[in-house]
Chains A and B, each alone.
Chain A
Amino acid sequence: MKGTVHKYKDNVNTDEIIPARYLNDSTPAALAAHCMEDIDKSFVGSVKPGDIIVAEKNFGCGSSREHAPIAIKASGVSCVIACDFARIFFRNCINIGLPILECPEAARDAESGDVIDVDLTAGTIRNETKGRTYSVPPFPPEIRAIIARGGLLNK
């Protein structure tokens, strides 16, 4: 998967990803219409299918709302890369089949507008703009199995 980077800093919380005022509707399209609204008003207008969100520490902290990864996925984002993730957001992404990668070096180096190519099978992140490649340790087999079948509830 290859896409343009939307870059954010530390501690982006799920209230910023999808504010609670929109949680009275859980349809993916309705959530995507307000994705990242309280941290980046330009996101909804600029995101393209395949784009990649890159953030630094503790991405997705706060509320357990699965609406947050649903909104990101429904926006067309193909992958989220961060130094590390808040744990409920981490498992929510795996459970709904949204690829995420923890790679501090790639996360810190990337800037908005960079083009990044991710190979999940090989475990590599290539920042084409910066001309740098990073390797990511694979998830344990149990987690890879959930991702492979597209989510926890998929058979």
Chain B
Amino acid sequence: MAMTLSQKILAAHAGLDSVVPGQLITAKLDLVLGNDITSPVAIKEIEKHGGGKVFDKSKVALVMDHFVPNKDIKSAEQCKCCRNFAREQGVENFFDVGEMGIEHALLPEKGLVGAGDLVIGADSHTCTYGALGAFSTGVGSTDMAYGMLTGTAWFKVPSAIKVTLTGKPAPHVSGKDVILHLIGVIGVSGALYKSLEFVGDGVRHMTMDDRLTICNMAIEAGAKNGVFACDDVTRAYLKEHCRKESVAFEADADAQYEREVVIDLAALKPTVSFPHLPENTHTVDEIGDIVIDQVVIGSCTNGRISDLRAAAEVLRGRKVAKGVRTIVIPATQSVYLQAMEEGLIKTFIEAGAVVSTPTCGPCLGGYMGILASGEKCVATTNRNFVGRMGAEDSEIYLASPYVAACSAVLGKIGVL
């Protein structure tokens, strides 16, 4: 039977010639990921069940990124738990302060995921690596524990939605606008249990950073994974970052999809998701005066070098509006250094923004930018749920780095 790209990767890792949607399979994993919040739960589960060794020291990645550098004693204890486990088990890919970055920006940069890989991570945004042609999905801590011990996981084979991108986007329209628009069209559960497979002649206009942003937010439509087939953009990125062997799977020409959504990139406008769901999308030109208190530019969604460049282009020679606390968070140490070498950090500071060490921090209301009651924030992050960044009656508006930087200058949501 004809298969989608996602189904082909799953079949190959389950040792099966073919799979069908709904089928339950056990598949071999190429990488198991966890962070400082989810890993301690997995480690305790392993200890509770009599211990054991990780299946492959090179195929486990532990990234300390959520509450790091530690915000309090409890979060320090959680990192200590991970650090001890990594040392005892000889985990090769343990990333602590100084080496860490936000996990989903860090792993591609470090070359830990290749095309055709099967990856699980105890973090919902693990779906990011579909940008590299991998099947990658978020799981919980028990799946992570089981995956670390056995190198396998159970999966229900997903059906898929085909997302066809056509045309060329206008300047200042980015991957973030594509994915926010798509979530606006299909809703936050529009792809529940399904794959989102991105195809079409518009794909070639999507840079690797655009694709990483798009796949990152597949989960916000409920998707199991998002994926782009391997092309020249993928191969160039992997050649630079990844020494692993890649396998470029392709969907069969007659693969079955539950539905198709066509997005004309040329018609897209910068898009903003209003509180309190990512599906509440509006194009920036239809937004009235919404005065803001804070802007956050960063996260696993939009903390890469191209995101910082887009923000710096707006902020160069300008000042953020008085009263708008503007927080820029490079996603990894390498992004931070690159931004410094390109003068972007200087631009941010001269504009009146602050620049933080890499951390998930404010995105999940951890620290480094918590909102008080009634405050409004434009964020390049991925969720605008009630209370996600602080007080229950604070508001988060999701947008691209370009829109976020413009809004910081204007003091209200908009573009210059």
Binding site for B on A (CB under 8 A): 11, 13, 15-16, 19-21, 23-26, 38-39, 57-58, 61-67, 69-70, 84, 86-88, 91-92, 95-96, 140, 142-143, 146, 151-155
What B residues does A87 contact at CB under 8 A?
A: 192-193, 222, 224
Residues of A within 8 A of B24 (CB): 140, 142-143
Task: Name the prevailing secondary structure of the B interface residues.
Answer: loop
Q: Is the interface of A mostly helix, strand, loop or mixed?
A: loop
Give, as a whole number of angstroms, the nearest-CB distance from B338 to chain A.
29
Known contacts A24-B78, A58-B189; decide if A96 and B142 are in contact (CB<8 Å). yes
Q: From A67, which residue of chain B is reached at the shortest CB distance?
A: B41
CA–CA, A53 and B94, complex, Å? 38
Q: Which residues of A contact B192 (CB under 8 A)?
A: 58, 84, 86-87
Point out the residues of chain A lying under 8 angstroms from B37, CB to CB.
20, 23-24, 26, 65, 67
Complex interface: chain B residues within 8 A of A91 (CB): 139-140, 143
Contact of B386 among A16, A21, A23, A57 (CB under 8 A): A16
With known contacts A15-B386, A38-B387, A87-B192, A25–B74 Cβ distance under 8 A: yes
Known: A66-B141, A96-B142. A88 touches B78 (CB 8 A): no
Contact A20 B123, CB 8 Å, known A25-B74, A66-B41, A88-B140: no
Least Cβ distance of A39 to chain B in Å?
A: 7
Task: Report yes or no: A39 in contact with B386, Cβ–Cβ below 8 A.
Answer: yes
The chain A residue with its CB closest to the CB of B382 is A62
The verdict on B385 contacting chain A, using a C-beta distance below 8 Å, is: yes
Q: Bound state CA distance, A146 and B387, in angstroms? A: 34
With CB as the reference atom, state the residue of chain B lying closest to A57. B189
Count of chain B residues near A, Cβ 8 A: 48
**Would you give the 0/1 interface string for B135-168, flagging 1 where the beta carbon is closer than 8 Å to chain A?**
0001111110110000000100000000000000
A15 touches B383 (CB 8 A): yes
Q: How far is the CA of A16 from the CA of B45 in the complex (A)?
A: 24
Contact pattern, B 351-379, Cβ under 8 Å of A = 1, otherwise 0:
00000000000001110000000000000
List the A side residues contacting B386 at CB < 8 Å. Answer: 15-16, 38-39
Give min CB distance, A84 to chain B, whole Å: 7
Rounded to whole angstroms, the CA-CA distance of A15 and B388 in the bound complex is: 7
The distance in angstroms between the C-alpha atoms of A25 and B140, with both chains bound, is 16
- On chain B, the residues within 8 Å of A19 by CB distance are 365, 387
Query: Bound complex: CA of A39 vs CA of B388, how far in Å?
Result: 12
Whether B38 is near chain A, meaning CB under 8 Å from some CB there, is yes
**Contact residues of B between 62 and 92, Cβ < 8 Å to A:** 66-67, 71-72, 74-75, 78
User: What are the interface flags for B369-412 relative to A under an 8 Å C-beta threshold, 1 for contact and 0 otherwise?
Assistant: 00000000000000101111000100000000000000000000
A87-B222, A142-B24 known; A64 vs B189 contact (CB < 8 Å): no
Whole-angstrom distance from the CB of B267 to the nearest CB of chain A?
A: 28
A16 to B193, CA, bound (A): 21
Give me the 7 closest cross-chain CB pairs, A-B, nearest first. A92-B140, A24-B74, A66-B140, A95-B142, A58-B189, A64-B124, A20-B364
Q: Does B184 contact A (CB under 8 A)?
A: no
CB pair A86 B222 closer than 8 Å: yes
A126 → B minimal CB distance (Å)? 27
The reply on B49 being an interface residue by CB < 8 A is yes
Of A61, A86, A87, A88, which is in contact with the most chain B CB atoms at under 10 Å from its CB? A87
Contact partners of A84 in chain B: CB under 8 A: 189, 192
Q: Does B344 lie at the interface of the complex (its beta carbon under 8 Å from any beta carbon of A)?
A: no
B40 proximal to A (CB < 8 A): yes
For the complex, is B188 an interface residue (Cβ under 8 Å from A)?
Answer: yes
B123 touches A64 (CB 8 A): yes
Measured between beta carbons, the chain B residues less than 8 angstroms from A152 are: 142-143, 146
Residue from the list A24, A66, A88 in contact with B75, Cβ < 8 A: A24
A-B contact pairs, 19 of them (CB 8 A): A15-B387, A16-B387, A19-B365, A20-B364, A20-B388, A25-B74, A26-B78, A38-B386, A58-B222, A64-B139, A67-B41, A91-B139, A95-B140, A95-B146, A142-B24, A152-B146, A153-B48, A153-B142, A153-B145
B277 within 8 A of A: yes
- Residues of A contacting B365 with CB < 8 Å? 15, 19-21
A151: chain B residues at CB < 8 Å are 142
Establish whether residues B72 and A62, one from each chain, have CB atoms under 8 Å apart when the complex forms.
no
Q: Are A63 and B124 in contact (CB under 8 A)?
A: yes
Interface check B239, CB cutoff 8 A: no
Report yes or no: A65 in contact with B193, Cβ–Cβ below 8 A.
no
Q: Which residues of B lie under 8 Å from residue A140 when comparing CB positions? A: 24
Verify B189–A86 contact, CB threshold 8 A.
yes
B390 smallest CB distance to A (angstroms)? 9
CB closest chain-B residue, reference A23: B37
| Contact for A92 among B48, B142, B188, CB less than 8 A | B142
